[in-house]
Structure 1
Amino acid sequence: MIAKNVKVLLVCFFSIIFMSTTASANTSSGYYDTPTINGYNYSFTSEVWLRYPTTGQTIEAVGFVKANTGVPAGYMGVQARLFDQSGTMKTSSSMAYNENDGNINNYAYSPRLTSKGVYYSQTKAAFYYGSGYTSYVGYRSPNQTFSNTESGISVKNSKDIEELLSKTQYSLNSNGETFGSALSANTIGVEPELISAEGTNGVKGYIRSEDLAPKVSSIDEAIKQTGKNGDIRKIPLYDVEGKKNIGEFEVVTNYEVKDEAK
């Protein structure tokens, strides 16, 4: 499944998009298509964008979800997550739900990084099914090299990535909690309870999946949780046992919804 998706990823679209700063959608996954949910069909992608502001180049993850037609407020949520080549989550947006009726597209943007390296994105999306939300982790984007001399796309994976893609189960800590990289969610079927991440202090540890994307059961809860653009929610970064607080991870609200097709 993943190997086939990687081949599809090579047929990614290269487009120049003008927003607040010039950006290039340098890499995108193929579309993850959902079944019919409460009468609607959705598809979403995981993208990595390079931006070229006057202050210097940046890189970010972009989550994009589209519906087959305009949906009611709060029906679709999207979260953009940026990872490094070890499978560690570097930054993430909040889970952002559409606030208005009739929206077709929903975009979420992770915080931007200036650190050079190799990155990929993997979007999480959530959809209202009538009495709650069902969520999916999408296909990961191809690797995006971000450097001073050369930036480009590659499907060549690190040894760490290959190992994560072959996992069939997560490790367990002494409390019986699963831990590992969220990259393995596609092969295992669910995210680990403790997700590998890097805190704002540069320390690597684990964040709780339920803290990163808190579960909501109603449209009102979903829209309230989305908040306003620029909101920052700080969540604890733990050791592998999920007990000792070793830092914090910032989840930033940055999204936009549109009524027209992409």
Structure 2
Amino acid sequence: MTRFVLVAGAWLGAWVWDEVADELRAGRHEVHPLTLSGLAEKQGVRAGQRTHVQDIVDVVERLGLRDVVLVGHSYSGVPVGQAAERIGERLRRVVFVDANVPVDGESFLSGWPSDGVRRAIDANGGFWPPLEADDCVGQGLTNEQTARLIGGATPHPGATLTEPAVLERPLVELPATYVKCLLDGEEPLPAVAEALKSETWELVTMDTGHWPMFSRPRELARILREAAAVR
């Protein structure tokens, strides 16, 4: 039995994985969706990126999990990638779902025009305001799915986006699957493209948008199961 720890991206919490978790549990897998500090039911708490890394490590260690597949979506790929190396032999595989990945010494906002995000964080008490309906256009979501996504989003702790990642060894040494959602752009980020040259990484594509846990939960669950089976 594989143990999945599912971590949502910016603005979101454990609730976004409900349908995917149900599919995985139906296959007799153990599933632990995780809300990071400062988000969803934990909103309002000031947290940095190191806090989020520790959130993930803590749930693995507290529950005594082994044979773990860590799954990070979007922003959370950054803390998930760091946590993956910290849990050592407990890790089975890490899956990045249309995600950013950590680059040692660089932040989530490194490498792309982020002045607008930084201004928004400064203007909103240190938090990144939640996404809006316009951000979901062209992402394969129904109106109902968009409303659910927007309705559940909460402000995101800004420090998690600006603090640099810390890696003890190259990310390419991790056993990893990268899931690229094609409606959100066909080309992986440069750091991902470089990692995919490694024999320990595999690429899987989905013909949907950036939030496949809403638009294609059953397909995403199947991909996670298949990733867990890779040796």
TM over 0.5: no
Looking at CA atoms only, which structure, 1 or 2, has the larger radius of gyration?
Answer: 1
TM-score range, shorter chain: 0.3 to 0.5
When normalised by structure 2's length, the TM-score is 0.33
Higher relative contact order (CA closer than 8 Å, sequence separation 6+)? 2
| Structure with the higher fraction of residues in helix conformation | 2
